[in-house]
Amino acid sequence: MTATSPATTLVHPASPAGPWWRDAVVYQVYPRSFADGDGDGIGDLPGATTRLGHLAELGVDAVWVSPFYPSPQHDAGYDVADYRDVDPMFGVLADADAFVAEAHRYGLRVFVDLVPNHTSSEHAWFRAALTAGPRSAERDRYLFRDGRGPAGAQPPNNWRSTFGGPAWTRVTEPDGTPGQWYLHLFDETQPDLDWTNPQVRAEFEAVLRFWLDRGVDGFRIDVAHGMVKAPGLPDLPEASDDTDPRHHQGPMWDQDGVHEIYRSWRAVLDSYDGDRAMVAEAWVTPLSRLARYVRPDEVHQSFNFAFLTSRWDAAELRTVVTESLTAMDTVGATTTWVLSNHDVVRHATRLGMADPGSFGSGIGADDPQPDLELGLRRARAAALIMLGLPGSAYLYQGEELGLPEHTTLDDTERQDPVWERTGHTQKGRDGCRVPLPWEADAPAYGFSPTGASWLTQPAVFAERALDRQRGVAGSTYELYRAALARRRELAVGSGSLAWVEDLCGATSMAYLNRDLLVVANLGGEPVQVPDGYRVILRSDTAGASGGSEVPADTTVWAVPLT
């Protein structure tokens, strides 16, 4: 029997072969929680280097490493004190070089994380700004302003920090008097730079070159939509307590001036060999605005947070996939897909919540708890939906093990500034940052040789440790491996997308990518893979006995019978 031709709606045609990043699967290493080489309970670069073989075996194309630069760690390293070195906690500069060299030996590309919106308050520039006083060249690199009201005692405007609380902090001047205020869209230890200052621009171009010269393949750009603020820093229409990053709108986000920065950076990257690339962390809506970041002379890719924040709903996911591909196609960019990262509740937990769409800012022991089994079942189904799509996919460390969020972490362990800045009303992001389990029976599940771990790992990590899954048919790890191998073999990343109309309803969706048929049932009655197709991979553990049936919360991959 040959495959019948189902009624389809083509959204995106297959692309000719292009540079590596256009269809890459990129794995995010969050270094403090990946692998601890020296046993202090905090992951480091030498530890990560020894585990790179795991990523090669998994079958990803590239690694994005979250910040490892010198930092007081008030925001887990996204508060950078020196952009050209490595924090002693993570190793020394030579360890970064060794990591990159070993990754390259395995055929893996490396993105490092660039944090250009703000520095740490420990950065030499900010220290100099405090010492130099008002209206100095040193202060002009940041956004210092006089306060409003009598004696300048009120902040210059009504902006709020993304982490909660005001976005302004008042300094004490060198003469001991209460002084100016500086802007920080995040923690008060993360002063925002003034990107209208040519010194700031020159410095970051030099930082790009510093890492490109060391051989990195590109950059993940932190807060890529925030560097330029509206002239005059106008008040928001009304004071807002809304700190949900999905709602980033207003005079501090997505300003047109930011694109000029990316054009200059693109020119820097293009002057190097080897298809170096950038991926933007831009929480921008609608997708047509996001597409502006990935025009041909700007950033190469942007994370697709519309996909990450979709509810477990076939119609909504179908809309997001269609709109994403359509928006990116208007500028010739590839679409990316992502389900988790170090800032959001892990999807194996989100999808097991009564309201699976809830993004939340962390989950604590006193909150409603997820259904772990349902969450894992759906997480596996979501992975096969994502990895069958054309474009590039970003994986967060541990999702290949089906790791859930740590939802019962003791409050005394919390380190995310969100916890303090919201007066303990939001738990924050520590629950998705718990160190990885490598070996079920080893101390700290193999994360660290001494058993130390900067956050306590939950007991469920034992059954999800890598050594319990490696080589085990039906495990989440083997599912990811098989999906990545098939993805490569079938050229899925540079492929097409056409919806199979008969199988797209309220609770299911199906698409063709080249010859690969992906059928996902998001919760309704079982659906059948059409005649003429052979199932090659399924997200449940039914194996061959699953036949051509796709039960609820399951995705299958099928190819035409030949």
Catalog residues that contact ligand NOJ under the rule CB under 6 A.
75, 78, 115, 186, 222-223, 281, 342-343
The nearest distance, CB 206 to ligand NOJ, in angstroms, is 20
Q: Where are the alpha helices (DSSP H) in 416-517?
A: 417-421, 466-469, 476-489
- In the chain, what is the straight-line distance between the N-terminal and C-terminal CA atoms, in Å? 8
Q: Are 454 and 419 in contact (CB under 8 A)?
A: no
Planar angle of CA 396, 54, 377, nearest 5 degrees: 50
Q: What six digits make up the tokens of 281?
A: 């962390």
Q: What six digits make up the tokens of 264?
A: 């200059």
Catalytic residue from among 222, 298, 343, 553: 222
User: Which of 463, 396, 405, 412 has its CA nearest to residue 434?
Assistant: 405
Catalytic residue from among 95, 192, 281, 400: 281
Q: What six digits make up the tokens of 507?
A: 């609770």
Residue for token pair 């603020």: 229
What 8-state DSSP symbol labels residue 15? -
Planar angle of CA 202, 206, 209, nearest 5 degrees: 145
- 373 catalytically annotated: no
Q: At what angle do helices 372-387 and 476-489 cross, to 10 degrees?
A: 10
Q: Which is nearer to ligand NOJ, 75 or 540 (CB)?
A: 75
Q: Which 3 state secondary structure label does DSSP give 416?
A: coil
Q: Which 3 state secondary structure label does DSSP give 543?
A: helix
Kindly report the backbone phi and psi dihedral angles of residue 559, in degrees, each rounded to the nearest multiple of 5, phi listed first: -130, 160
Spatial separation of the C-alpha atoms in residues 396 and 27, rounded to whole Å: 6
Q: Which is nearer to ligand NOJ, 194 or 222 (CB)?
A: 222
Spatial separation of the C-alpha atoms in residues 266 and 378, rounded to whole Å: 38
User: Which of 474, 472, 484 has its CA nearest to residue 440?
Assistant: 472
Q: What six digits make up the tokens of 53?
A: 């073989």
Q: Which is nearer to ligand NOJ, 342 or 468 (CB)?
A: 342
The nearest distance, CB 223 to ligand NOJ, in angstroms, is 5
- Backbone angle region of 140, left / alpha / beta, with phi > 0 → left and psi within -120 to 50 → alpha: alpha
Nearest residue to ligand NOJ, scored by beta-carbon proximity: 78
The nearest distance, CB 342 to ligand NOJ, in angstroms, is 6
Spatial separation of the C-alpha atoms in residues 411 and 251, rounded to whole Å: 34
User: Which of 50, 108, 42 has its CA nearest to residue 77?
Assistant: 42
The nearest distance, CB 418 to ligand NOJ, in angstroms, is 8
Strand 8-12: give its sheet, edge to edge. 8-12, 497-500, 508-513, 516-521, 554-560, 533-538
Q: Which is nearer to ligand NOJ, 76 or 383 (CB)?
A: 76
Residue for token pair 């060249």: 137
Residue for token pair 């995106």: 12
Q: Are 90 and 184 in contact (CB under 8 A)?
A: no
Dump the DSSP string for 104-153: HHTT-EEEEEE--SB--TTSHHHHHHHHH-TT-TTGGGBTEEPPBSGGG-
Q: Which is nearer to ligand NOJ, 219 or 511 (CB)?
A: 219
CB atoms within 10 A of CB 92: 14
The nearest distance, CB 115 to ligand NOJ, in angstroms, is 6
- 222 catalytically annotated: yes
Across the chain, which distance is largest between two alpha carbons, in Å?
A: 86
Residues identified as active-site: 222, 281
